[in-house]
Structure 1
């Protein structure tokens, strides 16, 4: 099985003391089975850019640009026409059910749908109506 890591999973791993269960789960899966969305890269950059200048900010910026992006190079999934078709279908279905989802989350869900990936997230309830496999390593 292959996995799409939600932003919260990557953010957890850069904490000074990451959650033990999350770290253990990540270490139990072959790196080649782990994927990121370009949306996650954007969310990480946004979070880092909001930090005040510090050594920690410099370290995390270095990690994002020179480690994470390099390590996931061919496993960072772009948003293309097929992703947006899935996104449109997903949002229409949710809206017909009277449910709404933030665009960032629905783009991540659409990516999981397009590539048939299990979404790894702490926010499993946010994605419960998307008809995708979800794994919450915090539980």
Structure 2
């Protein structure tokens, strides 16, 4: 069975007022899913930036992120020495944002498929990618 590393754009879809029914159905199919600590970081950064405009929404987002992290528990993968070695070895065919490259390296190390809306971002990484949108 394929296991998936969820990119931030897939996770973010879950908190939208009207999430994509396609993504919701895909996740309801109960695939084995994992998160990168970087995804949690990107979500926290979004909440921090939102706080400047809307404290109430930022507090709700923070609470949701806390619940998400608790529900994933040990299925939140770190950026460790193995991941940094895989990151360094990624093909250098084009410049890839560091967070995307580290997510690709995390997927490679753990034998996961990246689930993302931005399939083209991972095109030259040689990791398996699926678009649940």
TM-score > 0.5, shorter chain as reference: yes
Q: Normalized per residue, which structure has more helix?
A: 1
Does 2:71 match 1:71? yes
- What TM-score, normalized by structure 1, do the two folds share? 0.90
Structure 1: runs of 5+ lacking an equivalent: none
2:125 to 120, 130, 136: 130
Within 5 A, what are the aligned runs for 1:1-139?
1-30=2-31, 33-51=32-50, 52-65=53-66, 67-90=67-90, 93-94=91-92, 97=93, 99-138=94-133
Structure 2 unmatched runs, 5+: none
Q: Secondary structure at the match of 1:50?
A: helix
Q: Secondary structure of 2:124's match?
A: coil
Q: Which runs of 4+ in 1 moved over 3 A?
A: none
Q: Deviations over 1:3-25 (max 9, x none)?
A: 00000001111001001100110
